[in-house]
Amino acid sequence: MRTLSWPRTAACLSLLCAVAAARAPCSPATGLAVPENAEARMALKEAIFGSVRAAAAEPRRVIEQPGSRSKVAFEADVQEGALYLVFANQAGAGFPIAGPGTFIIKRSLKDGSLLQAKVFLQPDPGCFLRISPLAGGDRTSMSLYLFGEPFQRDIVVPARFEGLLTAPVSRLMQLTSDAVDWRLALPPARSPADERITRVVAALRSRLARLRDVEDGAMDRDGKFVLIADGSPQRAASKGPKGGFNCSGFAKWVVDGFVHPLTGSFTDIARLSQRDIASRGNRWSAPREEERDPYFGLDWTRNLARALEQARRGDLPGPQAMDVRDAEHFPYVEDVGYPVENLPTILYLLARRDPGAFYLGSVNSSPVAGAASGGIRQHHHVVVLFPHVDERGVFRQVVMERNVETSLESVRQRYAGSFVHLVRLDTDGEFAPPAVE
């Protein structure tokens, strides 16, 4: 956890603070709120609107707000020709900069003008809003960011920028309630469905160290370690687990943790490997099905999701029934999915709408840089994704792939420019990952 211990502000803003602050009274317009520090900002209005040189010399201090009895840490920080006035709410024993309600006002050191303000909305440095004055002075521009990516830009707020700098954040929320779904922007509440995901993640983490990495490796329907390509037995290790998994086999192992308690057996590799040529692909890919198997990851993840649904419901859903085709604000590309760069925000939106779901992702890339949209894409890697709200009320996006836990940032760096196709599965029921010893 990083709190306001008076280092340079820019460095602080790059760090994640995993402490959720206590909620302030709800906004009457939205029923939602962030912790407020308007009283502290009003108490230091001379620093906000007066001499910029005097404001830069203001001492660090902690302000107790009479109305709420909550405390706010204030700091004036000079960087690269600008003055940043930081108002950070107390959370626990500290004052996290990247915490809900932190209000940062930027002024020009050259002429003292008010340039913009930034308000953190969640205990995540990538979730914030930014406001700036519009020409004419009577209106303000606001942009909303989720997990470092712009979500809504250039929302016009019918109020003067200067007035919003000492107003409660709830006032800004009221003025933009028709344009912004504040339920999405503010920290989500933890639900029983999130608790299910937490238990699944904990069960997997406790077993990851015992998993062995084997190229083309998986368990067959009887729990034997085999190679996916031909079903032949894996070569046994001299010690430790008898076999192991590649990325596809690992995803199968996770899903089998739900399937086996229902059916008494594991998913069948031959069925998972079946190609759905009738409903995916194009004229470029058809001749390459045997040579390159370009849609293996897509078929495998779809078939895994279908197998779990069949174990639960009895009927086998259609090939595309479990696809994620409805991620708000992000258009779905047929058999391709969504840009890897957008995964953090997409998973957040999906988790808000369908808490308790987890996702299999088939990462796919164009084999040649700059290839036309009609070229053949290769589905070459599978990831397992667990978005949820943790015990402390912080939104988490757990990523597991090929026997290890990684991160969305790692996936985005390794597969920059690629896409990921998602299928949705639920965490209902008993979860018992197959033994690997």
- For residue range 111-121, list pLDDT tens digits in order: 999 999 999 99
Distance CA 294, CA 375 (A): 11
At residue 402, the pLDDT reads 97
Q: 75 by DSSP, 3-state: which?
A: strand
Distance CA 4, CA 193 (A): 33
Residues β-bridged to residue 150 = 145
Distance CA 216, CA 245 (A): 7
Answer whether 104's CB lies under 8 Å from 87's CB: yes
Distance CA 124, CA 145 (A): 11
Distance CA 169, CA 166 (A): 9
The structure tokens 């990952």 sit at: 433
At residue 295, the pLDDT reads 86
At residue 84, the pLDDT reads 98
| CA 115 to mean position of chain CA atoms | 30
Task: Give Cβ neighbours of residue 136 (< 8 Å, ≥ 6 apart).
Answer: none
Answer whether 84's CB lies under 8 Å from 9's CB: yes
At residue 157, the pLDDT reads 97
Answer whether 322's CB lies under 8 Å from 425's CB: yes
Q: Provide the token pair at 104.
A: 């940062």
Distance CA 188, CA 128 (A): 14
Residues β-bridged to residue 426 = 357
pTM (two decimals): 0.83
User: What residues of the chain score a pLDDT lower than 50?
Assistant: 1-31, 368-374
